[in-house]
Amino acid sequence: MSTKIDGKQVAADIKANLAERVAKLKAQGVTPGLGTLLVGEDPGSVKYVAGKHADCAEVGINSVKKELPATATFEDIAQAVRELNEDPACNGFIVQLPLPKGIDQNAIIDLIDPAKDADGMHPYNLGELVLHVRGDISTPLPCTPRGVIELLNAYDIDLNGKEVCVLGRGITIGRTIGLMLTRNAVNATVTLCHTGTRDVVDHMRRADVIVAAMGSAGFVTPDKIKDGAVLVDVGVSRVFDEEAGRYRIKGDVDKACYEKASAYTPNPGGVGPMTRAMLLANVVEMAERSL
158 given a catalytic annotation: no
Distances (CA, A) of 30 to 3, 24, 59, 190: 40, 9, 14, 40
Distance, CA of 28 to CA of 17 (rounded, Å): 17
Distance, CA of 154 to CA of 273 (rounded, Å): 14
170 is in an annotated binding site: yes
Which residues have a Cβ under 8 Å from the Cβ of 223 and sit 6 or more positions away? Answer: none
**Which among 15, 55, 116, 119 is annotated as catalytic?**
119
Distance, CA of 192 to CA of 113 (rounded, Å): 30
3-state secondary structure of 137: coil
168 is in an annotated binding site: yes
Q: What letter represents residue 245's amino acid?
A: G
52 given a catalytic annotation: yes
Strands 3-4 and 92-95, sheet pairing: unpaired
9 given a catalytic annotation: no
**Which among 52, 66, 116, 162 is annotated as catalytic?**
52
**Which among 66, 96, 117, 252 is annotated as catalytic?**
96
3-state secondary structure of 237: strand
35 is in an annotated binding site: no
150, 278 Cβ separation under 8 angstroms: yes
Which residues have a Cβ under 8 Å from the Cβ of 288 and sit 6 or more positions away? Answer: 21, 25
Estimate the crossing angle of helix 143-154 against helix 7-27, to 10 degrees. Answer: 110
Distance, CA of 84 to CA of 91 (rounded, Å): 9
Q: What is the CA radius of gyration of the chain?
A: 19
Q: What angle do CA 93, 95, 99 make, to 5 degrees?
A: 175
Annotated binding site for NADP(+): 168-170, 236
Q: Which residues are catalytic?
A: 52, 96, 119
Binding site listing: 168-170, 236
